[in-house]
Amino acid sequence: MAEAIEIKILVLGASGVVGFHIAQGLSEKHAVVRASRNSPAADIHSDLSREDGILCALSCKPDAVVNAVKPALSVDEMETKRTEAYALNTLLPERLAKLQPEYGFLLVQASTDGVYAGRPGETYSELSPVEPPNYYCHTKALAEEKIIEAAGEYIILRTEGVFGYDEKGTNFFLRMAGAEKAGKGFSAASDQFSQPICGLELARLATALIEKKKRGVYNACGPDLVSRHGLALLMKKQMGWGLRIGESSIKGRAAKVQPCLRVDISKMERDAGRVSSLPAQMAELRRWMNENKH
């Protein structure tokens, strides 16, 4: 296989767990420009909820744009703070999609497997019907529609439960790490099953798709179906933590959450390579955290 040619990649939302790891992974072979509103590590500081902010970021003339922007809201908060959620989850990718033909970049959109209904006993492929159960997933599904309609070159990553490092320490893994450091307990839902993936592994898959010039929609999830509680127990074991893990439930949440999201990742594995098991992903994350002193 020929060596990949270096390209310029603009990563929007580079301070979050998805954007951070994809930027890190791509920077090993490519020229990465990090864009964020407030991150001190960003190369471009821009308000991406505004048209002029998007054009400012695109002034670097990228060959590819990775949109990993996420509102500073939980899924439950998005049920009521809909204007803010819609602005970044739908309007931003729609604007990027409409600009793509003019600027000629590849658009890589971080979406969610939450666009599927998530019924127990069902497995969802990229061709399965889109039936988002809450407002967050609805905005992501709309973004996908806009991209498919307007952008000529795109990759949509339907990912789930991404964990790893982020600047604000807000993802599942770092919230657990914070509880361990503070000597507190941690609770996670025992009735919510999905296929989470480490940011390092997601970055590897995204890099492979970009370098192999693949296009289209991909389920970008891990191979292991596990409850949030089971994931917490596995993280505790793999990281050598001693914190107490309690059980919670998705019942009573403001947003309706799928009880079981089982997805088919065979298309991803065919085009980007085999996806590592959760224990292997966590071992790699532990090595990476120690190496980078996080």
Contacts of 275 (CB under 8 A, 6+ apart): 197, 201, 205, 221, 222, 223, 265, 268, 269
239 found inside a domain? no
Contacts of 231 (CB under 8 A, 6+ apart): 161, 172, 188, 196, 278
Does residue 19 have a pLDDT over 60?
yes
Q: Which among 173, 267, 270, 262 has a CA at the least distance from the CA of 223?
A: 262
291 found inside a domain? no
Provide the pLDDT for residue 15. Answer: 92
Provide the pLDDT for residue 209. Answer: 98
Provide the pLDDT for residue 3. Answer: 58
Residue-number span of the structural domain to which 70 is assigned: 8-163+197-223+262-276
Q: What is the pTM of this model?
A: 0.96
287 found inside a domain? no
Contacts of 138 (CB under 8 A, 6+ apart): 132
Q: How many domains does the chain have?
A: 1
256 found inside a domain? no
Provide the pLDDT for residue 4. Answer: 66
pLDDT bin (cut points 50, 70, 90) of residue 220 is: very high
